[in-house]
Every structure is written in C-alpha cells, then in structure tokens.
Amino acid sequence: MKALVLNDIADIKLCEIPRPEPGRGEVLLKVEASGICSSDYNRIYVDGAHKMPLIPGHEFVGTVTEIGPGVREELLGKRAAVYPLLPCRQCDECMREEYELCGYYDYFGTRRNGGFAEYVAVPVFNLVILPEEMSSLEAVICEPAAVCSHAVRLSGLQHGDIAVVIGTGTMAYLTALIAKIRGAGKVIVIGHSTDKVKRISKACDHVVNAKIWDPEEAVHTLTVGHMADVVYECVGSSEALSYAIAVSGEQTRIIAVGEPDDDIVIGQNLYWKLLRKEIVVRGLWNSGYNSGKNDWTRVISYITEGLIDPAEIVTNVYPLEKFEEALGMLRGEEDHMKVVFSFPESEKEAPEAPADNG
C-alpha cells in the first residue's frame, strides 16, 4: 500500500509498504479521506513524532474491508470515522470513561501509524460508524468538530450567552458554529487574516479584524459593555490568550483550545484582571467519547441535519502523491481552511520498505 512515512524531522516520503493485518478486536480500514491538522505540520517539519519512522494522520475515515479475530462480520463494508485516542482502559480516568484524560494512551498518527496511508488497522472500540448518506469528505471533519464540540460543552455555554472566539482557522470556525448551534446569543470572532475573516463571517454574528479594531474596545462596543460570557482561544499564542482575557467580563470562562508553538506570556495588568474578575481558564486537547457524552455522535447529527456544512470547511483536496503541495498549503499565505488527502478507489500492492508499526 502507499503511505507517507516520516523518517525524521522534515524527512517525509511516499513509500510502498506492507498492508497491516488486523489483530484481535481490530478491523482493516481502507482510508477514503484523511485531514491534515496544523499539529501534523509541526510534527513533520518542527518537532518530530514520539517514535519514527511513523505514518502521521489522526483525522481519517474509511471502509472496513477485513476483520480480525473476535470481530463480528456485520462490520464488513461499514464506513467509519476513527476516534484517534487509544486509551489504556485500566486507569481511574478510563474507568470513569474520561478517556481524553488517560495518561497511558496510544494515539494514531503520533505514537502509532495513522491515516496518511491507504489502510490502517483500527480497534473496533475506535470506530464511529457513519450514516450511509455521509460522504468521506463530509465525515473527515468529524475529528476536529468533535474537539470543538467538547470545548463548547466544557465551557458551560448557556442559552443567550455572549461567546467570543479567538482565531479564524478550522477550529475557530467550527467552535463558533457549534456555539451558535447550542444557543449562544451572540458569537464574535476575533482574528487577523483578512481572507479568513471574510470566510468565518458565515459562522458568527460579528467578525473583528484585530489589526483594525482593538479587540477589547470592539467587544465592549458590540456587547454594550457586557463583554464575553465565554471565550474560546483557538490559536495557542500569548497574543491570543491576552485577547481572551481582555474581552472577558466577570467570571468569564476561557477555554484554551489552540496548541502553542512557544511559551505563553501575559502582561501583569491582564493577570490582575484574571484575578479580580474571577476569570476561569480551562484547557482541553481532545473530545469526549463515552456512553454518556459523545461529541462524535453529536457532530455527526449536526452534519446530517445540515447545521454544519463540510463544504464550507474542506477547501483543498489532494491525492497522497501531491503531499508536498498539500503540506505546503499549511505554511503558505494562500487562503484555505481544511486541507484533506483523498484516496482513489484503485489499489496498488508493491510492498517494499516497511514502516515501523509501533
């Protein structure tokens, strides 16, 4: 099968490798689409992975083509998205089904081979079965959307709340949209990119270009002095967190969603505001995936009901062979939202250099 193999930082190649065999409790998933996350870009070109060689990719969907021992045959032919976190299923957090808090987890695309390949062996536990009418390019946004759903849920958003989203990328877009779906009275997005500011206007009530209008002044004006009830920081930078605190009111809940590239530093006056306004800052990095609160089933329903339109989010689609161009989109200046690898129906088998499946 074809796969993108990361051998070292900035050393990624398209290879022909053996197709994985599904083990006990696993299926073989033929990948149909795999989204590229900004964390994938950093993993490939900046930080490296936990172990290399490795096949990156944690946002992928496909069809079950083989089953391993102990797996029921009715799963054959089913299409599924994949919850990328593989919990230990033994720690206290896992016993509470808070798998996103597991400290002994494995993970597709960072610790084991992921979805930038034609096939992946996936435990049945991680399969999210898709509605028959949902296309792969619709379903591929389920993973980032589920994280955003988790962010809105953790924020305690109440009907009529004023929500402010910092950022204009995929996560910001989805968070703004889901906050609106869940009853936010007003959603304000703050960002810099002129092109993305125009695009994200479809997901919110107001967009503020921070290069033109000071965010604190803008939110004060747009809310008639009320300020934000909840803030979603979807960038992961000192500036973004500073904006989040600046637009907060009394006891505002700030949810940190963005992944930082560097240390986060805030000014003394903003820290005083954090204290005196009793502002709550809470972080997250994944989605809820349990029998009681499942962000995946929730976002699938949003898509099937037409509340989320993946066509507005998936802006660029590439075959795996054009991986350099696809990955280059994430570092370029060209306007884009979600960049996706799409896999053709035809199969090629010419196993040569194996990648580490660890």
Which range is least confidently modeled, 120-134, 257-271, 328-342? 328-342
Is the CATH number 3.90.180.10 carried by domain 2-141+313-342? yes
Our CA angle for 171, 175, 179, nearest 5°, is 175
Mean pLDDT in residue range 326-354: 71
Mean pLDDT in residue range 273-282: 98
CA distance 191 to 168: 6
Q: How far is CA 104 from CA 50, 96, 155, 172, 342, in A?
A: 14, 15, 26, 29, 31
Q: Return the beta strands (E) in 162-313 as ranges.
A: 162-166, 186-191, 206-209, 228-233, 248-256, 280-283
Reported as a pLDDT band with limits 50, 70 and 90, residue 198 is confident
Question: How many C-beta neighbours within 10 Å does residue 6 have?
Answer: 24
Q: CB–CB of 144/93 below 8 Å?
A: no
Whole-number average pLDDT of the chain: 93
Mean pLDDT in residue range 230-239: 97
145-283: which CATH architecture? Answer: 3-Layer(aba) Sandwich (3.40)
Q: For the segment 64-91, what is each residue's pLDDT rounded down to a tens digit? A: 999 999 999 999 999 999 999 999 999 9
Residue type, position 56, single letter: P
Reported as a pLDDT band with limits 50, 70 and 90, residue 345 is low
Q: Which residues of 229-263 are buried (b: 16+ CB within 10 A; e: fewer)?
A: bbbbbbbbbeebbbbbbbbbbeebbbbbbbeeeee
Where in the chain is CATH 3.90.180.10?
2-141+313-342
- pLDDT of 44: 96
Q: Which residues contact 24 (CB under 8 A, 6 or more apart)?
A: 68, 69, 70
Where in the chain is CATH 3.40.50.720?
145-283
Q: Which of 177, 174, 188, 182 is nearest to 156 (CA)?
A: 182
Reported as a pLDDT band with limits 50, 70 and 90, residue 101 is very high
- pLDDT of 331: 83
Q: Which of 162, 157, 272, 168 is nearest to 226 (CA)?
A: 162
- pLDDT of 292: 87
Peptide bond into 53 cis (omega under 30): yes
Under the phi-then-psi rule, with left for phi > 0, alpha for psi from -120 to 50, and beta for the rest, what region is 261? alpha
CA distance 37 to 340: 9
What is the model's pTM? 0.93
Q: CB–CB of 43/56 below 8 Å?
A: yes
Q: Which residues contact 89 (CB under 8 A, 6 or more apart)?
A: none
- pLDDT of 355: 40
Q: For the segment 35-66, what is each residue's pLDDT rounded down to a tens digit? A: 999 999 999 999 999 899 999 999 999 999 99
- pLDDT of 335: 82
CA-only gyration radius of the chain, Å: 21
CA distance 15 to 19: 12
Q: Could you please report the per-residue DSSP string of 250-266?
A: EEEEEEE-SPPSS----
CA distance 261 to 255: 18
Place of tokens 């035809």: 346
